[in-house]
């Protein structure tokens, strides 16, 4: 049986009709194993499914999109969004905001857990953002053979540039400290236990991360009211992970 546009047009009005129960609809068997999905549904009398199969067959096959480091980390990109959702399910383990908030208000409770109140608890209440402050002042950080370097406005990377740093975050911190730039501060709204891998990825992007908080690895999330996979930082992590595959 050949399925074409004329048959599709003929099936459209039938798809809105209610078929009688005794309409010819043979049970599937070996005789129908080699039928296409469209032919099979027509034999069964399932007009709606047949129409859907025809329309699906007429749609052009999607062209795989190559994800690179230059691909915008956009939630509308299905590939990046789905990977971000997978990462959240796999790497974000447990919500512990109440625990962290209670400890941040109680130096005594911190002491009982062998935590330093000022060094361990308070930093999880507020994220210090060196990168945004330095970028707002016109500075940037670039990768080089020895690691990362910060550069001033209109400054190009040369052999005489400032010493390299092991990671990007350290370069942003050094940039702010050297140029007396006050870092921006963001309130932390949520706290989550995350995997060590995700903690590394978040930390590399300047997120608030405590790697040994009473034996837990904690991420202080500065956004709320939306699914974690929609956070800009998670989309960037998903994009970079796909680009590296």
Question: 10-residue block means of pLDDT along the chain (245 residues)?
Answer: 54 50 46 53 60 66 76 90 95 91 83 82 83 92 86 78 78 92 90 95 89 88 94 95 85
Residues 6+ apart with CB under 8 A from 194: 91, 92, 93, 202, 209, 217, 218, 219
Query: Within this chain, do residues 9 and 104 fall inside the same structural domain, yes or no?
Result: no
Query: Within this chain, do residues 201 and 241 fall inside the same structural domain, yes or no?
Result: yes
pLDDT the model gives residue 1: 44
pLDDT the model gives residue 70: 86
Q: Which range marks the domain in which residue 41 is found?
A: 5-58
Query: Within this chain, do residues 143 and 38 fall inside the same structural domain, yes or no?
Result: no
pTM, two decimals, is 0.62
Query: Within this chain, do residues 104 and 220 fall inside the same structural domain, yes or no?
Result: yes
pLDDT the model gives residue 16: 47
d(CA 222, CA 233): 11
Query: Within this chain, do residues 102 and 151 fall inside the same structural domain, yes or no?
Result: no
Instruction: Count Cβ atoms within 10 A of the Cβ of residue 74 and give its class: 0-12 exposed, 13-18 middle, 19 or more buried.
Output: exposed
């Amino acid at each position: 049986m050949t399925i074409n546009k004329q048959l599709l047009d003929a099936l459209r009005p039938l798809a809105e009709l209610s078929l009688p129960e005794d309409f010819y609809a043979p049970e599937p068997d070996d005789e129908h194993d080699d039928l296409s999905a469209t032919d099979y549904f027509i034999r069964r009398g399932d007009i709606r499914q047949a129409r859907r199969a025809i329309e699906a067959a007429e749609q052009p096959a999607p062209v795989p999109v190559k994800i690179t480091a230059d691909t915008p980390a956009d939630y509308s990109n299905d590939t990046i969004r789905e990977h971000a959702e997978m990462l959240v399910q796999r790497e974000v383990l447990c919500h512990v905001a109440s625990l962290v908030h209670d400890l941040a208000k109680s130096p005594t409770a911190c002491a009982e857990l062998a935590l330093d109140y000022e060094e361990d608890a308070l930093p999880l209440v507020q994220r210090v953002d060196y990168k945004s402050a330095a970028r707002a002042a016109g500075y940037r950080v670039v990768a080089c053979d020895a690691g990362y370097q910060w550069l001033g406005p209109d400054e190009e990377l040369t052999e005489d540039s400032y010493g390299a740093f092991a990671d990007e975050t350290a370069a942003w911190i050094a940039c702010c400290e050297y140029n007396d730039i006050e870092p921006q501060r963001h309130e932390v709204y949520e706290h989550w236990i995350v995997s060590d891998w995700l903690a590394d990825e978040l930390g590399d992007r300047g997120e608030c991360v405590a790697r040994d908080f009473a034996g837990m690895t904690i991420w202080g999330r500065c956004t709320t009211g939306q699914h974690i996979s929609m956070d800009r930082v998670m989309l960037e992590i998903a994009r970079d992970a796909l680009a590296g595959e």
